Each structure stands twice: as C-alpha cells, then as structure tokens.
Amino acid sequence: MTEKTVIPFQGTPEQEAQLKEVIAKHHDQPGGLMPTLQEAQGIYGYLPIEVQKMIADGLGVSLSEVFGVATFYSQFSLTPKGKHRISVCLGTACYVKGSDKILEAVEAKLGIKSGECTADGMFSIDSCRCVGACGLAPVMLVDEDVYGKLKPEQVAKILDSYK
C-alpha cells in the first residue's frame, strides 16, 4: 500500500484578507455559501479544511454544512491542483480505445493516483467523462493541450516535456 502524499496548506495573509472580504460580501445574503465557496476556490485554487473553517465561522454556518456543499458539487476540489493539470478522458469512446491504460501510465509515471497532486506541486491527475474529441480517442489533456490517439508508451515523453 502506498502512502498518500499530503501537501500542507500554505495560505498567505493576502489570500486570507481576500477571503474575509468575500465572506463579508456574502454574509447576509440568502444562499451566500455557494458564491463564497466559488470565490474562495478562485483565491486558493482548492478548498482545504482551513479555508472551510474560516468560511463556516465567517458565515455563521456549521463546518459540516460547508463540507457537505463542497463535496456535493463536482466543481469544488478539496485537494490542491498541480501547476500542470492532467485529465484523462474515460468516456465511452476513449475507454474502449484504451484510456484506462493511459491513466495507468500517467499514474505510474508520476507515482500518484487520479485526484492527487505530486509532492512538488507540478502535476495533478483527474479523469473526466468526455472532452468532446471522440474521433481522437483515447485523449489526454495537459492544461489546455490535447493529446489524441495515444498509446501508453507515449505518456512519459509527453509528461517530461512539461518539467
């Protein structure tokens, strides 16, 4: 069993000041939790527990409510994303063309699983259901770059080009 890499939270005083402004803006607004979470993720890039606690305290709601909303909606991430975001399509066309093997190759190369970030913060991996490039299956995205008709043996060279 591999040990999961934990990247410590490293918020700045500037980010905290921005978050406090966001909380103040939405404090008395009905349904203010959702826009607060969206703006907080824009500030930090994800929603670590420390940020969730600040939001709960600031809005006067329970931490469980904040966590419940943050985990219910797929737009929110509780884990940091890397400088380079990798997404492997696991939609039907890509999957039948071997995208599961592409994902395995990415995970093996980086030593992390889907949903995780490398310890150096360079790469994070996610899977998605469709990127709309079915004719290029299997497809992997690195940031905004699309790689199609991939074979697992091509993955290492592609990822090395981002280091």
- Homologous superfamily of domain range 82-160: Glutaredoxin (3.40.30.10)
Annotated binding site: 89, 94, 130, 134
Model pLDDT, residue 6: 60
Model pLDDT, residue 3: 47
DSSP annotation of 117: B
Return the half-sphere exposure (C-beta side, CA atoms, 13 A cut-off) of residue 107.
16
Annotated binding site for [2Fe-2S] cluster: 89, 94, 130, 134
Angle ∠(16,116,88) on CA atoms, nearest 5: 120
Q: Which residue has the tokens 């150096």?
A: 120
CA dist., res. 10 & res. 117, Å (int): 15
Mean pLDDT of the chain: 92
Model pLDDT, residue 7: 65
